[in-house]
Amino acid sequence: MAERQLVPKDIFYFIPNLIGYGRVVSAIVSFSLMDHHPIYFTTLYSISCLLDACDGYAARKYHQSSKFGAVLDMVTDRCTTTSLLCYLCKLYPGFTIVFQLLVSLDLASHYMHMYATLQSGGDSHKNVDKNSSWLLNLYYTNKNVLFTACLFNELFFLALYLINFDSFPQIFGINFGVVLAWITLPLWAFKQFTNVVQLNRAAVLLAKIDCDVANKKVQKDE
């Protein structure tokens, strides 16, 4: 008996996508707790971020990778981080412009990277050739590097949030958030540098595509 053909509705019920919905729900609930419940917020926000690793594992294990799932994953990443940065603007009004620039860099680099990859004929934004960028190849193909960089990036922003609360015990008399911020700072900086490299590579790829199109048009006109 032939297997039933998939229909679009089936994709929405893939296991990794169900995990993705769980990420969205836990993130939304965590946002409602930011003002007065830092422990609950941190717990739920962390769960949302950690589930990011689970959906990829489920996609590989059950052979349920999908373009919808890839976009859902990236969009959720961008939305959760941006939402936290919006709150940091409230906690640190003097650094609002810094957080705005970080949000802009994050959104621009990932959007342009995905668009440039698709325009270049790639089937996934994580497929980056070493000759194109050894750093992005390492970042996207080495799961340990990708997971650690993203984790420390989120932990750094969480640390900036936690500095304003005394819900966690101090470490050698120092606010827990301050200690966490210093620990995560180097890899947070690496993540921002990677975003810059990603943005530059995407811009160059798109410019090359434009040149190819323009040159073919000139040759055709000749």
By the 8 A CB rule, do 202 and 115 touch?
Answer: yes
Torsion angle defined by CA atoms of residues 3, 60, 119 and 220, in that order, rounded to the nearest 10 degrees: -60
Q: Annotated catalytic residue: which of 77, 123, 210, 221? A: 77
Selection from 114, 105, 184, 200 nearest residue 149 by Cα:
184
Distance CA 73, CA 105 (A): 18
Would residue 77 show up in a list of annotated catalytic residues for this protein?
Answer: yes
How does DSSP assign 23-56, residue by residue?
Answer: HHHHHHHHHTTTTT-HHHHHHHHHHHHHHHHHHH
What positions carry a catalytic annotation? 77
